[in-house]
Amino acid sequence: MELSVSPHANDFAAQVRGVQLSADLSGDLVEQLRALWHRYQVLYFPEQPLTHTQLEAFTRAFGAFGHNPYVRALNDHRHILEIRREPDEEVVPFGSSWHSDWSFQVRPPSATILHAKVVPPIGGDTHFVDGFRALETLPKDLLQQIEGRRSIHSARKSYSREAVQAGGQRTSMTIEPSNDAWQTQLHPIIRTHPDSGRQALWINPVYTIGIEGMREAESAELLTQLFDHMLQPALIYQHQWAENMLTMWDNRSVLHSAQGGYAGYQRIMHRTTVTGSIPV
């Protein structure tokens, strides 16, 4: 079976057809998909009905499962998170702020995989930022300020007890806050992709809380400038979902944000992650 690949602008994100992900994938096909994933960073596969077991099998083809803290997984499928929002929920959509998944971990996930189960008729898109082009287009004065520096990552703004309480009652998902969320982890601001060797601007507004060796105000000002650059429309791909679509993205170079705009409708996604390496 021959793959059909349709890239988006600037080779950031691509639609892939010509494969059935519920089947056992050969080693050659997995490597072909891996190469496409590294090239385009975001891959999406329309019309892919999958059981929980099939979603898990597809994930394992790319590596071991990542560790998902703070959110209760599905019963009997501890590596699958159900990203769910009911029609009457008033709390903001889960993952609505720009972030890279679990960047506060020592080894953040290499891949995030999201499978659409229930898609609202309006809204509910996911937006992605190309971290490679963000670095390539970064003004020289900003680049000079971050070269060789490390940023401070923490889950405190999302998963500390104080943050969860302030965020309102989420009825369709179980968030499990912890004092562990106050821990910090240092990562390079400019991250080298372990497979392609390309470098990305790798910070995010949710989990990046400072820059090592800088005063808080100075750090906050620089991060704001960097985020403003990263979130300009020219670097963003706006992804529209359809039922049974599977999308995977490279968490080592991509930021994403779950959009709202579907009040009064249900939205259900199933998510897995693939373990990653220590950022360098």
pLDDT tens profile 69-108: 999 999 999 999 999 999 999 888 999 999 999 999 999 9
Domain CATH number, residue 76? 3.60.130.10
Per-residue pLDDT at 169 exceeds 90: no
Q: Which of 202, 80, 197, 69 is nearest to 146 (CA)?
A: 202
Q: pLDDT tens across 30-42, in order?
A: 999 999 999 999 9
- 113-158 pLDDT, tens per residue? 999 999 999 999 999 999 999 999 999 999 999 999 999 999 999 9
232 part of a folded domain: yes
Does any domain span residue 279? no
Number of domains in the chain: 1
Chain mean pLDDT for the chain = 96
Domain that includes residue 147, residue range: 4-274
Half-sphere exposure of 255 (CA within 13 A, CB side): 28
Establish if 112 belongs to a structural domain: yes
For tokens 């890279």, name the residue: 100
Question: Is 41 inside a domain boundary?
Answer: yes
